[in-house]
A and B are shown apart, each in its own frame.
Chain A
């Protein structure tokens, strides 16, 4: 049913149950918001979105108020403007407004509002000096600065609704109320997976990623250092957003140009090791299937889950530690790259590994934690020295005075720069599964995966849990025990959904062989290190761009990547071999639930 109302004297007709905010959007009237976020449930606590209804004395929060027939709404009356200004003044009185020293300077929603409402000098007394705020910067991924928090609770809702972790909660009440972890412990010590979804949604600088820009500049400028950089698949479909482009533009060529201009010694690709991951992980799956289905080995676990997403890995370590043997031992593409950069690559280029600085550009904040894991030093050095988010790279490009939009397209360096479409789609939910199926199906049957244009559509898209069953028929003689087997796969994204899937596995309700989990909504393209803002529409545009990039690739199956074939010939010898075991596989740690 439609409801008719007027907003600022413009007639609008919307579905029953819509909010005033949604109705205003429909007629392109912008109402400011702070606690509201499209991905989250309505909180209605900041009051900045208030509007006036003719005939009612009290102002209405437009984000929470459903429309009703005949409403006459004013979004910009004197009363509304006065109330909003008051709200912003009150928030600022408890906000550390040292904006010039803040990482979010110029990107802060509260700052933007205060500039719109011209606060002037006559504000409320600044309460910051009276409060004992702390900055938690112990985590390698996320910094939590309570002095900048406006308690809108977007982070709390993100952590609970999208991720089912609730590492952050609302503690105490009244003027002592604060956003807190368990016992206000450092984020490093609690169940936080470092996914950074809260960072992506924080309107101010209260939650940010830990920045490593200066360390990377220093490495680039050091004469004796060979600085290699790898770029994750999801960066090339999102970086443009942070540099003035529309969501969904593929900027791979410009990205490579920009990195070269920044002064990196070699611009290489995480997509290459994504392809390598498929070879290792695909073979691991086949090995597990062999052991379970053929040899009846009960010590080997199925379903196998993916291990590329460091948010997911830390989540399962905390929440389902009894399933750690189910996680593929294959390292993530970032860490495979790191291990090879200081071994294979160093040997090839005759550079001492200690002179190599390995930098990665990731859509992710959890990758910073992953690179810091003590087990990620299989080259004998820290495999990945510094991890930058897409946002940090955008800032470096600005610092360097590069006009990104006018950059020419450039190609990745060799070696470890060549990739296939299968590597690219790692950036979207379902991508790892699709890439794995493109390879594993062919290994087992000798034929291409039975989908038009190799596009395994059932595992694509934003559906919460996607299932695909693929029947293995006319298999090659080596795999005869798989004849007629229906390979059951499941793909999910967002840890709330991952938790549901794992609970179904635990109860025996679900019976999969292979599960792909990405911690972030939409997969890596919706990662916590990606440009802000994020919403479903933006994530869908990035997804389309990823699949577009896949279609444009000459080679679209990981096992056909010539550089991957070469690295096995020259260095690794065979998938799951001794060298792979040493450099490309890892183990996991049981963690507490605090």
Chain B
């Protein structure tokens, strides 16, 4: 709790106490903690003298801010119409099968989270997804299997 308080207060000192500092502060929390917790929101609300609900509203609006802990690899599949028409649903079911989780969930080993996101700007190469900051395009179920297998192997090699 104290660590969190220090983190928030460092971020607030850096970005300021105005309401427009809320977003950079939330991004700062997301970067260090991988998600914005309830405690973090209350702390930010106190520092900026706004309501906790307002912080929650902003945090839930943005796809790239998470309000729950995510895995080491966050997979975000583009949910917009072009990717849908190019087979997004098959991509998602392949991911669900491989990772044994449903959309919106995180694997029990905390390695992978599977989410949808708004347009990634890769409509000409859909379906598209992001794994952390890395984009993958022209996806097929087969290609998805390879990508995930590569990551899994890398992970097992490390451990």
Contacts and interface: CB of A to CB of B under 8 A. Distances in A.
Whether chains A and B associate is yes
Interface of A: 165-173, 180-183, 190-191, 592-594
Interface string B49-63: 011111011001100
Contacts of A190: 52-53
28 contacts: A166-B51, A166-B53, A167-B51, A168-B53, A169-B54, A170-B57, A170-B61, A171-B53, A171-B56, A171-B57, A172-B61, A173-B61, A180-B53, A180-B57, A181-B53, A182-B41, A182-B51, A182-B52, A182-B53, A182-B56, A183-B56, A592-B42, A593-B42, A593-B45, A593-B46, A593-B51, A594-B42, A594-B52
A166 B45 CA distance: 11
Contacts of A165: 51
Contacts, number: 49
Nearest to B59: A171
A181 B45 CA distance: 14
A593 to B, nearest CB: 6
B56 A180 contact: yes
Contacts of B38: 183
A169 B42 contact: no
Nearest to A165: B51
**Category for how many chain B residues contact A:** 10 to 19
A562 B52 CA distance: 49
Nearest to A177: B61
Interface in B105-142: none
Contacts of A168: 53
A399 to B, nearest CB: 37
B61 A191 contact: no
A191 B55 CA distance: 14
Contacts of B50: 166
A593 B52 CA distance: 7
A319 B27 CA distance: 27
A72 to B, nearest CB: 38
Contacts of A191: 51-53
Nearest to A178: B60
B53 A167 contact: yes
Contacts of A171: 53, 56-57, 60-61
B52 A172 contact: no
Given A171-B56, A180-B60, 10 more contacts: A166-B53, A166-B54, A167-B51, A169-B57, A171-B60, A173-B60, A180-B56, A190-B52, A191-B51, A594-B42
Contacts of A170: 57, 61
Contacts of B60: 171-173, 180
Contacts of B45: 593
Interface string B19-52: 0000000000000000000100110011000111
B106 to A, nearest CB: 19
A575 B42 CA distance: 42
B79 to A, nearest CB: 10
A80 to B, nearest CB: 30
A171 B52 CA distance: 12
A560 to B, nearest CB: 45
Contacts of A167: 51, 53
Contacts of A592: 42
Contacts of B57: 169-171, 180
Contacts of A181: 53
Contacts of B53: 166-169, 171, 180-182, 190-191
A169 B52 CA distance: 9
A310 B54 CA distance: 24
A169 B45 CA distance: 13
B4 to A, nearest CB: 15
List 4 A-B pairs, minimum CB-CB distance, nearest first: A169-B57, A166-B51, A169-B53, A182-B53
B65 to A, nearest CB: 12
Interface string B61-90: 100000000000000000000000000000
Contacts of A180: 53, 56-57, 60
A168 B57 CA distance: 9
Nearest to B41: A182
Nearest to A592: B42
Report which residue of B38, B50, B51, B60 has the largest number of chain A beta carbons within 10 angstroms of its beta carbon: B51
Nearest to A191: B51
Contacts of A173: 60-61
Report which residue of B53, B57, B61 has the largest number of chain A beta carbons within 10 angstroms of its beta carbon: B53
Contacts of A172: 60-61
Nearest to B58: A169
Report which residue of A165, A181, A182, A191 has the largest number of chain B beta carbons within 10 angstroms of its beta carbon: A182
A231 B91 CA distance: 65
Nearest to A192: B53
A181 B57 CA distance: 9
A187 B41 CA distance: 18
A424 B61 CA distance: 47
Nearest to A166: B51
Nearest to B42: A594
A270 B38 CA distance: 42
A594 B43 CA distance: 10
A181 B56 CA distance: 8
Nearest to B67: A183
Contacts of A594: 42, 52
A183 B60 CA distance: 10
B20 to A, nearest CB: 16
A314 to B, nearest CB: 14
B132 to A, nearest CB: 22
A13 to B, nearest CB: 39
B25 to A, nearest CB: 17
A194 to B, nearest CB: 15
B19 to A, nearest CB: 11
A337 B52 CA distance: 36
A166 B54 CA distance: 7
Nearest to A174: B118
B16 to A, nearest CB: 19
A191 B50 CA distance: 12
A182 B45 CA distance: 11
Nearest to B45: A593
Contacts of A183: 38, 56
B72 to A, nearest CB: 25
A183 B36 CA distance: 12
Contacts of B46: 593
A181 B53 CA distance: 6
A297 B42 CA distance: 36
A171 B55 CA distance: 9
B40 to A, nearest CB: 12
A167 B55 CA distance: 11
A322 to B, nearest CB: 13
B109 to A, nearest CB: 27
A217 to B, nearest CB: 37
